[in-house]
Amino acid sequence: MPVTKEEILAKIVEQKVQFINLQFTDIVGIIKNVTIPVSQIHEALDHGVWFDGSSIEGFARIAESDMYLVPDLNTYAVIPWESTGDYITARFICDVYTPDDQPFAGDPRHVLKRTLAQAAELGFIYNTGPELEFFLFKPGPNGELIPLPHDAAGYFDVSTDYATHIRRQMVASLQTFGIKVEASHHEVAIGQHEIDFEYGDALTTADHTVTFRTVLKAIAQLNGLHATFMPKPIAGINGSGMHVHQSLSSIVTGRNEFHDHETNNLSLLAQHFTAGLLDHALGMTAVLAPLVNSYKRLVPGYEAPIYVSWGRTNRSALVRIPRISAGRSNQATRIELRCPDPSANPYLAFSVMLAAGLDGIKRKLMPPPSAEEDLYHVDPIARGLKTLPVSLGEALEELKRDSVIQEALGEHIYERYIEAKTQEWDAYRRHVSQWELDRYLPIY
Ligand code: ADP
Ligand code: MG
Ligand code: MG
Ligand code: MG
Ligand code: MG
């Protein structure tokens, strides 16, 4: 239910809030923040709050430095760790506007809203359920980071260890931001965890994703730990993914349009959508797996996809269609994309995924036969499988070839994204690593 200005103002008084953080994200999905004293709240809610966009990296050219922030009332929440002692602080997630009252083209939240509007024109709400994996590290005696816990707790292990205790604090804090947690568990790798929250419309879950990363980092820090969403912090064990479960529901009836009630299976619409995701998989990888390090996760053997494929049971496939057990709600019919990782900007990620799916619907694309075998041991050429980009450099070249994905980012963000990520890739290419020295210096 959308909340009113009066309800928010009453809450602010009741909760004795003294400061308000106005949040938005930059192109790479990092939260930026302007803090105002509560005395400014009427002004902020009526007219927005000015800020200098040129001070935000990648956000604006100097010439368009004046921007203003318009709080989204639905995102109001008290920040627990900034509300100890005397100063209670709340936050809003904001939309960014230009001085002539237009949504700012460089605001990732606006970019997602624009693609969501295209789905709405066809009568659909786009739902996403992202699963964020992360590692907990603790600082060692020499400042190095050691994975927590030290015991060999594996996937779903019932451990009474310290990490379980921290995860409970994280779950409690997430709930105060209105994020409904469905499950939390230890992951496959040592020190790796997952907390799943309830799916919803993609704007809400993108907001939840940026909040989620902030909450987990804050709670870890309060406990003297470091939570990281870096995709592959440790070589040789599983990296952290952000699988995204997706469906389209009807704006009018709320019905899950990915479910075919006659066949009790995936609808034709869902098959077109899947085919669209596969068709644009290469072009959108630079957005979904945005770091140099992301490509060290997308390698054989660690439950991450490497080929453009789909399957029902197969965890090496790019798109997995979870089997819905009989008796479970039709609302659970969905498709899961497994290449994104939790370093992605969720607004841009959901925008390009939706654009890819809608393109599949428009062109009535059909997915190829499913791949149910373990793809880590097949010959991709004999099997006719396309390979995902193996590096950020390759992914950027694919993005430059995909006009549907470019449009889903918008010209403004597309250009700056390519520029920023090309710099990142070049810096990495020029670096001579310890691996190279260890391997080559003694021999050549
Ligand atoms: P996995 O089996 O891949 O580990 P999880 O059970 O951890 O998946 O997470 C499933 C996610 O899918 C949850 O976030 C859940 O809310 C979400 N989900 C369930 N139904 C839908 C749907 N119709 N559309 C989108 N997401 C959904
Ligand atoms: Mg999961
Ligand atoms: Mg599960
Ligand atoms: Mg997982
Ligand atoms: Mg999953």
Q: Would you state the structure tokens that stand for residue 340, as one six-digit string?
A: 């994104």
320 lines ligand 1 (CB under 6 A): no
ipTM here: 0.97
> What pLDDT sits at residue 59?
66
CA R_g for the chain:
22
Q: Which of 257, 336, 359, 402 is the catalytic position?
A: 336
> What pLDDT sits at residue 274?
98
> What pLDDT sits at residue 398?
98
* Residue keyed to tokens 């106005």: 22
**Helix (H, G, I), strand (E, B), or coil: what is residue 268?**
helix
Atom of ligand 1 nearest to the CA of 322: 2
Q: Minimal CA–CA distance to 202: which of 116, 100, 316, 288?
A: 116
> What pLDDT sits at residue 293?
98
pTM: 0.95
Interval 412-424: pLDDT, tens: 999 999 999 999 9
193 lines ligand 1 (CB under 6 A): no
* Interval between CA 255 and ligand 4 midpoint (Å): 27
Q: Minimal CA–CA distance to 8: which of 76, 72, 69, 70?
A: 76
332 lines ligand 1 (CB under 6 A): yes
> What pLDDT sits at residue 325?
67
> What pLDDT sits at residue 147?
73
205 lines ligand 1 (CB under 6 A): no
Q: Which residues, 6 or more positions from 261, have their beta carbon under 8 angstroms from its beta carbon? A: 330
Distance from the Cα of residue 443 to its chain's centroid:
43
The CA angle 403-405-410, to the nearest 5 degrees, is 90
First CA to last CA across the chain, in angstroms?
67
Q: Which of 26, 107, 110, 131 is the catalytic position?
A: 131
Contact 347, 255 (CB under 8 A): no
> What pLDDT sits at residue 83?
86
* Helix spans in 401-444 (H): 403-430, 434-440
Q: Is 250 assigned to a binding site?
A: no
> How far is 129 from 127, CA to CA, in rounded Å?
7
Q: Which residues, 6 or more positions from 73, have their beta carbon under 8 angstroms from its beta carbon? A: 2, 3, 4, 5, 8, 45, 92
Minimum CA distance residue for ligand 1 atom 19: 332
Q: Which residues, 6 or more positions from 302, have their beta carbon under 8 angstroms from its beta carbon? A: 237, 238, 239
Interval 137-188: pLDDT, tens: 988 778 777 776 544 555 555 455 778 889 999 999 999 999 999 999 888 8
- Which ligand approaches the C-alpha of residue 125 most closely? 1
> What pLDDT sits at residue 405?
98
Q: Which residues, 6 or more positions from 26, have their beta carbon under 8 angstroms from its beta carbon? A: 32, 56, 57, 58, 59, 108
Active site residue 315: yes
Atom of ligand 1 nearest to the CA of 256: 23
243 lines ligand 1 (CB under 6 A): yes
Q: Minimal CA–CA distance to 187: which of 233, 141, 129?
A: 233
Domains and CATH numbers, the chain: 5-104 (3.10.20.70), 113-436 (3.30.590.10)
Which residues have a beta carbon within 5 Å of ligand 4, which is an ion?
194
Task: Give me the residues of the chain with pLDDT under 70, please.
Answer: 1, 57-64, 148-160, 325-328
